[in-house]
Amino acid sequence: MSGFLKSREALLVGVIAVLLVVIATRFPAFIAPANLVNVFNDTSPLLLLALGQTVVILTRCIDLSVAANLALTGMVCAMLNAAYPGVPLAVILVLALAMGAMMGAVNGLLVWRLSIPPIVVTLGTMTIYRGFIFVISGGEWVNSHEMSAAFTGFPRAVILGLPVLSWIAIVAAALFVVMIARTPLGRAFYAVGGNPGAAVYTGLDVGKTQFWAFVLSGTLAGLTGYLWVARYSVAYVDIAGGFELEVVAACVIGGISIAGGAGTILGTILGALFLGIVKNALPVVGISPFWQLAISGAAIVIAVAFNTKSGRAKGRIILKRAEGTA
């Protein structure tokens, strides 16, 4: 228990609690249960993408194409539904998952087989995917009146007081917690990110592990693409523009080390919730929502500086212990 109280996760819980108290002094209705449910639902797309980004960053990579993946998949799903309203929702869900996984696999293969730096690969594919959206749509929107009721209604359907979108985020988070803690693949993510050289000597294929991280990230991005356009009932070229910055911010704020091999899924969840609360609170406290990107960028810099300082402190402790035993 004392270990948790000193952890990054406990600090985030405290910061979120203080943030809610401060907001409540200005707007008490913000912390009403119904509004908090809406805040969590608004944060669910960010949480889904951040879960995928977490495993990528754990392996010393980064995926800047997640928002473009989301946008392209969402546009394809919306155009398919508009052209063929009778296509079963299950088919659209499978399409979204498959498209996302395929785009993630492209990133992973380029990093694994061609040894191209992940930031270069994903910057390139981000631009390519955005270009594809314009090519297939001609720059035109798909609006709510062109979408079927089943298509737009699925993520909004309420089960036990929560929309389906929120339940999908909760289930995904639970699955990732189990995967990271209980499966060889989850342990491989940490091993590859923590010390790639040592991971090779234990029989792990670093490139292959990074490939599967990108596939997981892409799959969640594809699923979120459908959920996004269905929930907001609109698809256009610039869907989720700049959203990749918020995704990285959620991970870093949650304690995921950019250097790889360190961090927890719980931290990512709390980081996403922190950003979700800030985003929803900005209009309440009279701050323009356009400040959110600046806040996300500042949060990344501060969190990385904090993570680096913590890492150096731990390193000094280890060195002191080694000197004492020498």
Residue 326 three-state SS: coil
* Cα dihedral across residues 130, 136, 142, 146: positive or negative: negative
> H or E stretch including 92?
helix 89-114
Position 304, amino acid: V
- Coil, helix or strand at residue 142: strand
pLDDT at 271: 92
pLDDT for residue 321: 42
Percent of residues, the chain, with pLDDT higher than 70:
90
Tell me which of 17-31, 171-185, 293-307 is least confident: 293-307
What pLDDT is recorded for position 242?
A: 85
Element (H, E) at 120: helix 118-137
Residues 6+ apart with CB under 8 A from 245: 293, 296, 297, 300
Q: 52-84 pLDDT, tens per residue?
A: 999 999 999 999 999 999 999 999 999 999 999
> What pLDDT, on the 0 to 100 scale, is given for residue 4?
58
| Pairwise pLDDT comparison (26 vs 82), residue with the higher score | 82
pLDDT of residue 19: 87
* Whole-number average pLDDT of the chain: 88
Q: Is the pLDDT of residue 289 over 70?
A: no
> Is the Cβ–Cβ distance between 25 and 272 less than 8 Å?
no
pLDDT band for position 184 (cuts 50, 70, 90) = very high
Q: What percent of the chain has pLDDT over 90?
A: 67
Compute the residue count for the chain. 326
Q: Rounded to whole angstroms, how far apart are CA atoms 101 and 108?
A: 10
pLDDT digits (tens, 9 = 90+) for 254-278: 989 888 888 899 999 999 999 999 8
Q: What is the mean pLDDT of residues 28-49?
A: 94
pLDDT at 106 exceeding the cut of 90: yes
Instruction: Write the DSSP symbol of residue 291.
Output: G
Q: What is the mean pLDDT of residues 104-123?
A: 96
| DSSP-derived 3-state class of residue 163 | strand
- Residue 181 backbone phi and psi in degrees, to 5: -90, -25
The whole-number pLDDT of residue 306 equals: 74
pLDDT tens digits for range 149-169 = 999 999 999 999 999 999 999
Cβ pair 303, 11 in contact under 8 A: no
Give the angle subtended at the CA of 269 by the CAs of 268 and 270, to the nearest 5°. 90
- What is the band of 310 on the pLDDT scale with cuts at 50, 70, 90? low
Domains and CATH numbers, the chain: 2-325 (1.10.3470)
pLDDT digits (tens, 9 = 90+) for 312-325: 444 343 334 434 44
Res. 212: pLDDT tops 90: yes
* Side chain identity, residue 270: L
Average pLDDT over every residue of 277-281: 87
Tell me, what's the pLDDT at 6? 60
Q: For residue 309, what pLDDT is reported?
A: 65
- Cα 247 to Cα 2, 6, 250: the distances in Å are 30, 25, 5
